Amino acid sequence: METQEIKVEAKKETKKEIDEIFNTLDKWKSKSNEVREESRKEYERRIHELEAKKEELQTRYHEIENATEEKWSEVNKAIKKSSEDFKAGLEKLKETVS
């Protein structure tokens, strides 16, 4: 596979993963009325943190779309890290609600 093809495929996979992550966040946000009162503040704090991570992930995705050959690897690693951080935040949110 050529480098350009690899980049295009990576972008598609990244976009798909981001969409899935954001859909999961939206589902959790819609469950706010199901959160126990004693957990509500922690839940809201976690949602706020995830919203910030969402913005960071969106920014990283735009960077990957416009990355030059020289920056591709660096930007790709950064978006993977942002994605992992977001997923970890979702897990913490789940723990808050459980």
> Where in the sequence is the domain holding 57, given as residue range(s)?
3-30+37-97
- Checking if the pLDDT of 60 tops 90, the result is no
Please give the angle made by the CA atoms of 47, 48 and 50, to the nearest 5 degrees: 65
Distance CA 28, CA 56 (A): 19
Number of domains within the chain = 1
Mean of the per-residue pLDDT values of the chain:
87
Q: Which tokens hold the place of 33?
A: 């009325």
pLDDT of residue 45: 93
* Segment 13-44, tens digit of pLDDT: 888 989 999 999 999 888 888 888 888 899 99
